[in-house]
């Protein structure tokens, strides 16, 4: 009959025909070739079936003359909902006027009655092109339009008002409950989205695993109205957990809202989510004060500078003294990276470090820091501490480099120390245990940096076999005016003494702060009260 008849087994059709005998005969044949069939006896039934099952239906076959609502009226309404759905018309009329009207509303295929089934199946086969396009443009889990469809839709518009909805830390749900349950959560989440962002007012997209986009059909809608709707949705999600097989799953979301020309609105909605998280706000509206476009340009500039700087030795180590709190004598130095401009300007890592991490260029910088530290250790006999993150420890290539350079300089390794950044979440302590154990073989000291910020855990200090703990600067910089900070720092110090490791206070910027730190009994101090970070040449 037709060469690719087996492919028809994958499609679902909507068949509308008021003539009972013809409907029965045709439907029986179609059942042998297609996966599923929705059947209507008139246009009104057909339209309702389409509304209820749009995500499943791949193809429509319809008569024209039907009661209540005829086929052309039904097609007009369906095309408003989905202009791309393929429709085959079966009709006894062949006059030019009807054909022109059918073409005008988007019907490009027709078959004359009495129906030639071979011809109908050929037309259906040709319509499978839409089925392929559907896979390209429709998310196969939620049946929402996907990123490809969004890109195509944005090309056809000049303005955009949209809200990007991101489920926070969704990967944790997959880790805890499994991906199949994660998919069920996403399905329930998308169903809830549809209830709030109704299709008469919004087009919904699933653009990433845990990221959705609601695009307003009316650009002139007030941004505040969209914010209010997002707030209602966010309140519902925060208050009502998802239940999967008696498991209660709490979701948190972050929403970024933007109104601009279409391409920028999408970029701004994406970026404003990052701003919202930094500000601990679940919903944030983009405004020009964020300077996002300028930020993009700055990022691109620095990515290029970092790559060139690694090659051209623009990165240099600076070293801030850490002193014995009682005697003020320098005990060691903390190695801090700086970028040196061509004119000699020294650039703080605050400007480029986050960009380097996001652009996957940071491993180059940690390698430079180790080399710079060993240079100071070997040539000037100084003790030096280098910051290291869990991401560095988890990187096989970074660890291979660190162990090899320590092995090359093992006679000086006892003067090298590492400060593990405690403000970054450690997801696998076994890697950290291995790292510390390996360094102990070279007599390197290891401590925890930024303690008191982020994921502080006293139990971790005991189990990690560390030599020192550096108290986060947020607990030190106002300690001369804050009783609470004094209590916290005193608790950390007493705990450290009990378990045999020393303490370091950073951000010691005045004599009053120093006096308070000294009274509490912190072992070592670091800050501008003693000295700023120094270049290699400034260290005697």
What mean pLDDT comes out for the span 169-183?
84
Q: Is 190 exposed, middle or buried (0-12, 13-18, 19+ CB in 10 A)?
A: middle
**Cα–Cα dist 122/114, whole Å:** 16
Q: Hey, what are 248's tokens?
A: 């209660």
Q: Hey, what are 481's tokens?
A: 């005016």
- The answer to whether the beta carbons of residues 46 and 40 sit under 8 Å apart is yes
**Cα–Cα dist 315/306, whole Å:** 9
Of 176-180, 396-400, 416-420, minimum mean pLDDT range? 176-180
**Cα–Cα dist 127/456, whole Å:** 60
**Cα–Cα dist 234/197, whole Å:** 12
Matching residue, tokens 């340009």: 297
Q: How far is CA 147 from CA 144, 153, 205, 216, 348, in A?
A: 10, 10, 7, 16, 38
- The answer to whether the beta carbons of residues 241 and 251 sit under 8 Å apart is yes
Question: Is the confidence at residue 243, as pLDDT, over 70?
Answer: yes
What's CA 196's distance to the chain center, in Å? 23
How confident is the model over 143-157, as pLDDT tens digits? 888 888 888 888 777
Question: Is the confidence at residue 458, as pLDDT, over 80?
Answer: no
Angle of helix 128-137 relative to helix 117-126, nearest 10 degrees, comes to 30
**Cα–Cα dist 170/250, whole Å:** 11
Neighbours of 198 (CB within 10 A): 11
Region(s) of the chain under CATH 3.40.50.2300: 5-135
What mean pLDDT comes out for the span 293-301?
75
Which of 390, 373, 391 is closest to 382 using CA atoms?
Answer: 373
Name the CATH superfamily housing domain 296-538: EAL domain (3.20.20.450)
Region(s) of the chain under CATH 3.30.70.270: 140-290
How confident is the model over 52-69, as pLDDT tens digits? 998 889 899 998 889 999
Average pLDDT, the chain: 87
Beta bridge partners of 416: 384
- The pLDDT value recorded for residue 291 is 65
CATH number, domain 140-290: 3.30.70.270
Q: What DSSP state is assigned to residue 534?
A: B
What mean pLDDT comes out for the span 118-145?
77
What mean pLDDT comes out for the span 278-289?
84
User: pLDDT tier at 531 (50, 70, 90 boundaries)?
Assistant: very high
Neighbours of 327 (CB within 10 A): 8
Neighbours of 239 (CB within 10 A): 8
Neighbours of 25 (CB within 10 A): 15
How confident is the model over 68-109, as pLDDT tens digits? 998 889 998 998 888 778 888 887 765 556 666 776 777 768
**Cα–Cα dist 358/153, whole Å:** 29
Q: Hey, what are 421's tokens?
A: 């950044």
User: pLDDT tier at 167 (50, 70, 90 boundaries)?
Assistant: very high
- The pLDDT value recorded for residue 2 is 47
**Cα–Cα dist 101/518, whole Å:** 90
- The answer to whether the beta carbons of residues 349 and 336 sit under 8 Å apart is yes
Question: Is the confidence at residue 306, as pLDDT, over 50?
Answer: yes
Q: Which residues contact 101 (CB under 8 A, 6 or more apart)?
A: 72
- The pLDDT value recorded for residue 133 is 61
| Dihedral (CA of 108, 11, 14, 73) sign | negative
CATH number, domain 5-135: 3.40.50.2300
Region(s) of the chain under CATH 3.20.20.450: 296-538
- Percent of the chain beyond pLDDT 90? 53
Higher local confidence (pLDDT), 140 or 18 = 18
Angle of helix 362-380 relative to helix 396-408, nearest 10 degrees, comes to 10
Q: Hey, what are 333's tokens?
A: 């130095």
- The answer to whether the beta carbons of residues 146 and 201 sit under 8 Å apart is no
- The pLDDT value recorded for residue 247 is 76
Q: Hey, what are 124's tokens?
A: 């259906």
Q: How far is CA 57 from CA 15, 81, 88, in A?
A: 10, 13, 13
Q: Which residues contact 460 (CB under 8 A, 6 or more apart)?
A: 422, 426, 429, 448
- Which of 232-241, 355-364, 400-409 shows the highest mean pLDDT? 400-409
Question: Is the confidence at residue 424, as pLDDT, over 60?
Answer: no
How confident is the model over 465-511, as pLDDT tens digits? 899 999 999 899 999 998 989 999 999 999 999 999 999 999 999 99
- The answer to whether the beta carbons of residues 158 and 219 sit under 8 Å apart is no
What mean pLDDT comes out for the span 204-222?
92
Q: How far is CA 42 from CA 23, 24, 26, in A?
A: 11, 14, 16
Q: Hey, what are 354's tokens?
A: 């986050």
Angle of helix 483-499 relative to helix 511-520, nearest 10 degrees, comes to 40
Question: Is the confidence at residue 455, as pLDDT, over 60?
Answer: no
Question: Is the confidence at residue 3, as pLDDT, over 70?
Answer: no
- The pLDDT value recorded for residue 179 is 86
């Amino acid at each position: 009959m037709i060469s690719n008849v087996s492919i028809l087994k994958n499609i679902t059709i909507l068949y509308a025909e008021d003539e009972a005998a013809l409907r029965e005969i045709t439907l029986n044949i179609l059942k042998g070739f297609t996966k599923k069939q929705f059947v209507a006896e008139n246009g009104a039934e057909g339209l309702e079936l389409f509304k209820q099952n749009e995500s499943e239906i791949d193809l429509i076959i319809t008569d024209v003359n039907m009661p209540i609502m005829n086929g052309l009226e039904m097609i007009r309404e369906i095309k408003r909902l989905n202009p791309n759905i393929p429709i085959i018309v079966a009709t006894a009329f062949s006059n030019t006027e009807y054909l022109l009207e059918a073409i005008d509303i988007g019907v490009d295929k027709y078959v004359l009655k009495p129906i030639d089934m071979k011809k109908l199946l050929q037309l259906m086969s040709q319509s499978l092109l839409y089925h392929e396009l559907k896979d390209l443009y429709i998310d196969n889990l939620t049946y929402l339009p996907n990123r490809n469809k969004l890109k195509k839709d944005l090309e056809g518009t000049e303005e955009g008002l949209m809200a990007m909805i991101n489920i926070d830390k969704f990967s944790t749900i997959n880790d805890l409950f499994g991906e199949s349950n994660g998919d069920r959560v996403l399905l329930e989440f998308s169903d809830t989205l549809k209830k709030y962002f109704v299709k008469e007012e919004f087009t919904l997209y699933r653009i990433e695993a845990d990221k959705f986009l609601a695009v307003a059909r009316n650009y002139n809608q007030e941004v505040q109205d969209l914010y209010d709707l997002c707030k209602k949705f966010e309140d519902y999600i925060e208050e009502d957990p998802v239940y999967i097989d008696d498991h209660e799953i709490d979701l948190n979301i972050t929403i970024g809202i933007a109104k601009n020309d279409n391409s920028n609105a999408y970029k701004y909605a994406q970026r404003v989510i990052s701003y919202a998280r930094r500000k601990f706000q679940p919903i944030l509206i983009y405004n020009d004060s964020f300077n996002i476009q300028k930020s993009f340009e700055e990022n691109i500039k620095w990515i290029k500078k970092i790559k060139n700087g690694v090659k051209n030795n623009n990165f240099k180590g600076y070293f801030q003294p850490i002193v014995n709190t009682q005697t003020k004598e320098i005990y060691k130095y903390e190695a801090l990276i700086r970028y040196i401009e061509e004119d000699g300007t020294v650039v703080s890592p605050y400007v480029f470090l986050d960009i380097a991490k996001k652009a996957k260029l940071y491993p180059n910088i940690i390698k430079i820091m180790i080399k710079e530290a060993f240079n100071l250790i070997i040539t000037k006999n100084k003790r030096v501490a280098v910051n290291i993150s869990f991401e560095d420890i988890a990187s096989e290539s970074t660890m291979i480099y660190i162990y090899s350079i320590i092995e090359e300089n093992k006679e000086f390794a006892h003067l090298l120390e590492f400060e593990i950044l405690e403000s970054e979440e450690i997801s696998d302590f076994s890697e950290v245990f291995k790292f510390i154990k390996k360094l102990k073989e070279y007599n390197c000291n290891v401590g925890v940096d930024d303690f008191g910020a982020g994921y502080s855990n006293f139990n971790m200090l005991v189990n990690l076999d560390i030599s020192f703990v550096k108290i986060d600067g947020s607990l030190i910089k106002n300690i001369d005016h804050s009783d609470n900070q004094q209590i916290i720092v005193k608790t950390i110090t007493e705990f450290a003494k009990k378990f045999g490791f020393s303490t370091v206070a950073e951000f010691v910027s005045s004599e009053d702060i120093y006096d308070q730190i000294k009274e509490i009994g912190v072992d070592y101090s670091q800050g501008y009260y003693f000295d700023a970070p120094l270049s290699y040449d400034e260290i005697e």
